[in-house]
Amino acid sequence: MIFLIFTLLVALFVAIFAVQNAAPVAINFFWYVAEVPLVLIILGAALAGALIVFFMAIWREFRLKGTVRAQAKAEIKAKSEPQDHVVPKDIVPKDMVPTEANPADKEDTALPPG
């Protein structure tokens, strides 16, 4: 709602500025010269900027939808393929992780010297 109010205020200020500057100006484009009211130049520039922002927003939305769609396909593919179930080591408590036997617990199977 705040964004809408801000946008309307900016549009109002641009319109007031454009109407107050209604004098004709000469526009030069290469060899073409035309007399155009400044109000049309200001409103045309504002409209061009708004269209650029609009098309960039649409492009961003399509790109985000494509990313979400690709992630969804990857998740479906990952769920459908069988996987080895591996439990990360940081989840299992350390006292439950099998380790090498303690050397003190091993039986002494060495032959006596001699």
pLDDT in tens, 23-75: 899 989 888 998 999 888 888 898 999 999 999 999 999 998 888 888 888 88
pTM over 0.75, yes/no: no
pLDDT in tens, 69-105: 888 888 887 777 766 666 565 666 666 656 665 555 5
For 18, other C-beta atoms within 10 Å of its C-beta total: 19
- How many helices (H) and strands (E) are present in the chain, helices listed first? 2, 2
What's the CA gap between 17 and 88, in Å, rounded? 64
The sign of the dihedral angle between the CA atoms of 96, 97, 98, 102 is: negative
DSSP strand E in 10-104: where?
24-29, 32-37
Beta strands 32-37 and 24-29: pairing type? antiparallel
- Crossing angle, helix 38-80 and helix 2-20, to 10 degrees? 160
Give me 8's structure tokens. 């309307």
Neighbouring residues of 99: CB distance < 8 A, sequence distance ≥ 6: none
| Nearest residue to 38 via CA among 22, 56, 20 | 22
